[in-house]
Structure 1
Amino acid sequence: MKDVKLVRILMISYAVYYLCPSDTQRLPKNVVVNLYTNLFEGFLHFIRPRMDRNVFQDPESFMTTDKIIFHRGYPVEIHHVVTDDGYILALHRIPSGRRESYPQNVTSHLRRRPVFLQHGMMGSDHFWFISSTNNSLAFILADLGFDVWLGNSRGNTYSRKHVSLDPDEDRGFWNFSWDEMGRFDITSSIDYILNVTREETLAAYIGYSLGCSLFLISAIERPEMNDKVDVMIGLGPTVSAAHLKNYFRLMAPFVKLYQLYQRIFGIGEVHTNDGVLHSITRLICETSEFGAEFGRYWLSHVFGKSDVLNNDEYYRLIAHYPAGGSANTMTHLLQNYNTGESLSYFDYGAKENRKRYGTTLPPEYNLTLVTVPVMLVHSDNDPFAPLEDVSWLKTKLGNLKGSIRMDNPTFCHGDFVWSPHAAELVYLPVVRFLLSSEDLTGKHIARLQM
């Protein structure tokens, strides 16, 4: 009987989530908000005691990124950068590796070159810490002697601030898409890092999923960015979305309705980590074996079906993902699917497009203007970055130096950050490429024994 009730709850939340994937509806203040809040809290109070409590919870499920880094035995710093359009972004820095990994009397004169890691859509820099320590790219790079910086896009859990706009009160805070995230977030973050470290260039920019597109946009919009990064490495690069193979392609034909829905209800923010639907879904997914299976099923429709996602990684992920963002960010993905093989500017509609771009349709980004050396890592089983889209991207980039195609036919989009084999299959080949690039440019870093 208990399972029957759970199935009903799952079916309702699942249907509402997929039809109306939003978490913030600008409801009237006072009475309505209080009633809404009380009903939600009452529901959680009612359902919690009725669900199984036999699922192990990893302690990192309840930690912020900086606390996770410290918990793993690494030094951590929190920095804040203000973009040219006023958003305040959090950067987490791992300035060195584990203390016990250093030879004695060596650390004082090591030169650590900075690398910048950027997460994917609706995520945070927690993506880099889902897996175990020796299987985390951020920690591997730190132990090899790099100065590791982790970006957080505007609107997520760690970058929900602005110099003048209130994300809870001002709809204007959420008026951004891939365009602004690439043009402002990435450029401001890179400039900040170079200023702090007093380096001329980053040793590498490593982008996962949308993190790849954001750098390409920054390099096109701000050509000087091409000279500030030695190499750009894209993991599961989501650039063209013409051949998406996850549930977002089912939403794409209804993108105009989705935008109308946003305008009617005043929705700017979506997929917040503490939103109503995600709170309910996470509660279900975390507190019963049945719910955990439902959660895995949901993740498979976004990241692809993974054969290797174990319980530790699963519970760490759903506690932190999604981390929130703007409705326009989601809309931009759907628009790019409808446009076909391209990376296009955001489509505001014919009238606004004419004001912004001088044309009724948004223009395409000219990827040949990206002159920084690029390496791509991709998989045939990636629904977010399928082979057709990656193949198209390879023909457009101005300075593609190479690519790695996963031999494993079951390696999916999520496996880039949670697979227990990610270090072996992805990170170590990336590190070898990065070190060879360092040798070629004559910009050596410290080689430490791991």
Structure 2
Amino acid sequence: MSGQLVITQKLRNDGKINDDIYLNITQLITKYKYCVEVYEVITPDGYIIKIFRIPGNGAIVFLMHGIISSADDWISGGVESGLAYLLAQLGYDVWMGNARGNKHSRSNIYMDPSEKKFWDFSFHEIGMIDVPTMIDFVLEKTNKSSLIYIGHSQGTTAFFIMCSLRPEYNKKITLMISLSPIAWLSHMKSPVKTLKLFYGELVFLASSLGVVELPVIYNHFPSGSSFKQIQHFAQLVLSGDFRQFDYKVKNIEKYGSLTPPSYPVEKITAPVAIFYGEGDWLSDVSDAQILKSRLPNLVEFYRVEDDHFSHFDFIYAADTKNLLLANILRLIKKIH
């Protein structure tokens, strides 16, 4: 089925337990005969963030996950459809980032996760601090001046924030590929059900495929986030704008205005390609078109050739290789 979610079942075909459900990201990558390197970077405000790398001799591809997710997203679909594996097979130097607060980045040199202030962040800080810190580390480690950025969901949001408010990072991006972009959200399908759908869609799809035991992806998703991130997304839905966090009465003190400032995506000069799905309940086509109209260097606005392609299909679809990879490679080859 096109756009079908990949599920690795607890029981293998021979009736034995599938060991993959007990393996973490590095163990899975190693099991399937790929090299893996793990690095830790410390952000200016003290968060310790892990980055995973499947080294290659080709161009650098930096992968950034969505909300309540982690680097695991890019490999938990399996070797036949996980984007990190598919890119590594072709020789690309694949780096997988993480956002503060998820299971790979749940520590800070100044405070403990049990403290409320540890969780006082939104995707604004991820875009302004975490992603730039990781990109700088990757470029310094590889002695390169730029990289290809592929983001999914919140991974695109963080990019748009970074390159609009820290414009010096535009020159560090050879190409940005936005899978299910999240910026404007006013046309979202069923916004009231959004929180349930983040997890519920996976449960529903798994059930509809006859999976009754725990699949591998449930060991890797969800991976944690702050409540403030969810609040911020909800604010975007209600405001109809892509803007900074609304502190209500504290906006004057914080921003010098009654309302939060909008993110100036018009300042993003890095080349951006948008991939969207007609069945995406979170990133609606109408909202993607608003983003499209404001990006000065849009190189492609691509509709995935599947009428039902949804938000999580960008990560877990069984036919990633045909529906996504071929077009991603086509764009990369245009640049390189």
For 1:152, which of 93, 98, 108 is the aligned residue?
A: 98
Does structure 1 residue 356 correspond to structure 2 residue 254? yes
Specify the alignment match of 2:223 in structure 1. 323
Distance verdict in 2 for CA 1:325–1:380, change over 3 Å: same
2:200 aligned to 278, 299, 306, which one?
299
Q: Give the deviation of 1:353 after TM superposition.
A: 1.1
- CA–CA separation in structure 1 for the residues paired with 2:177 and 2:28: 25
Q: Which of these residues, 136, 153, 166, is aligned with residue 82 of structure 2?
A: 136
For the residue of structure 2 that corresponds to 1:372, the secondary structure is coil
**Structure 1 residue 215 and structure 2 residue 116: aligned?**
no
Question: Matched residues in 2 for 1:296 and 1:59: separation?
Answer: 28
TM-superposed CA distance for 1:366, in Å, is 0.8
Map of 1:387 onto structure 2 = 285
Counterpart of 1:87 in structure 2 is 47
Deviations 1:162-216 (A, max 9, x none): 1111002x111100001101000110000000010000111x1000011001011
1:230-267 deviations in Å (ceiling 9; x for gaps): 01000011221112224xx2178xxxxxxxxxxxxxxx
C-alpha displacement of 1:296: 10
The corresponding residue for 1:344 is 243
Q: Cα distance 1:146–1:436, how it changes in 2: closer, same or farther (>3 A)? A: same
Are the equivalent residues in 1 in contact too, given 2:128–2:162 (CA < 8 A)? Answer: yes
Which amino acid letter does the alignment assign opposite residue 239 of structure 1?
A
Taking the aligned partners of 1:211 and 1:318, their CA distance within structure 2 comes to: 20
1:367 to 257, 261, 265: 265
Measure the CA separation in 1 of the matches of 2:183 and 2:197: 25
- Say which of 283, 297, 317 aligns to 1:399: 297
Larger fraction in helix? 1
Report the equivalent of 1:422: 320
Which residue number corresponds to residue 4 of structure 2?
none
Gaps of 5+ in 1: 1-53, 97-110, 253-270, 272-294, 439-450
Report if aligned partners of 1:178, 1:346 keep a CA contact under 8 Å in 2.
Answer: no
What do residues 51-71 of structure 1 show as CA deviations (whole Å, max 9, x unaligned)? Answer: xxx962642222211111111
Q: CA deviation at 1:134?
A: 2.5
Aligned equivalents of 2:101, 2:198: Cα separation in 1: 27
Tell me which residue corresponds to 2:110: 164
Report how far residue 115 of structure 1 moved: 1.1
> How many angstroms does 1:330 deviate by?
0.6
Task: Name the structure 1 match of 2:192.
Answer: 250
Against the structure 1 CA distance between its residues 311 and 427, is the aligned structure 2 distance closer, same or farther, given a 3 Å change threshold? farther
CA deviations over 1:80-134 (Å, ceiling 9, x no partner): 11111111110000013xxxxxxxxxxxxxx432110000001011111122212
Return 5+ residue gaps in structure 2 as ranges: 1-8, 12-16
Does 1:62 find its partner at 2:62?
A: no
Amino acid at match of 1:357: Y
Per the normalisation by structure 1, the TM-score is 0.68
Greater CA drift, 317-326 or 148-157: 317-326
Aligned residue number for residue 227 of structure 1? 171
1:433 CA displacement: 1.1
**Does the CA-based 8 Å contact 1:304-1:414 persist in structure 2?**
no
Aligned length: 323
How far apart, CA to CA, are the structure 2 residues paired with 1:148 and 1:356?
38
Distance 1:233 1:139, change over 3 A: same
Q: Please give the per-residue CA displacement for 1:297-355, whole angstroms capped at 9, x wherever unaligned.
A: 9632x799699968599712222211111110010110000011x211011112x2111
Secondary structure of the equivalent of 2:300? strand
Equivalent residue letter for 1:229 = I
**Corresponding residue number in structure 2 for 1:237:** 181
Q: Which residue of 2 aligns with 1:5?
A: none
* Cα-Cα RMSD: 2.5
Distance in structure 2 (CA, Å) of the matches to 1:399 and 1:189: 24
Determine the C-alpha separation between the residues in 1 that align with 2:83 and 2:220. 18
Within 2, Cα distance between the matches of 1:368 and 1:167? 36
- Assess if the C-alpha contact under 8 Å between 1:131 and 1:313 holds in 2: no
Q: Distance in 1 between matches of 2:39 and 2:326?
A: 28
SS of match in other structure, 1:235: strand
What is the CA–CA distance in structure 2 between the aligned matches of 1:131 and 1:67, rounded to whole Å? 15
From the superposition, tell whether residues 188 and 296 of structure 1 become closer, same or farther in structure 2 (CA, over 3 Å): closer
What TM-score do the two structures reach when normalised by structure 2?
A: 0.90
Query: Is the Cα contact below 8 Å between 1:118 and 1:151 reproduced in 2?
Result: yes
Q: Which amino acid aligns with 1:377?
A: F
The answer to whether the Cα contact below 8 Å between 1:234 and 1:375 also exists between their aligned partners in 2 is yes
1-structure distance, mates of 2:31, 2:282: 32
Asked if residue 179 in structure 1 is aligned to residue 120 in structure 2, the reply is no
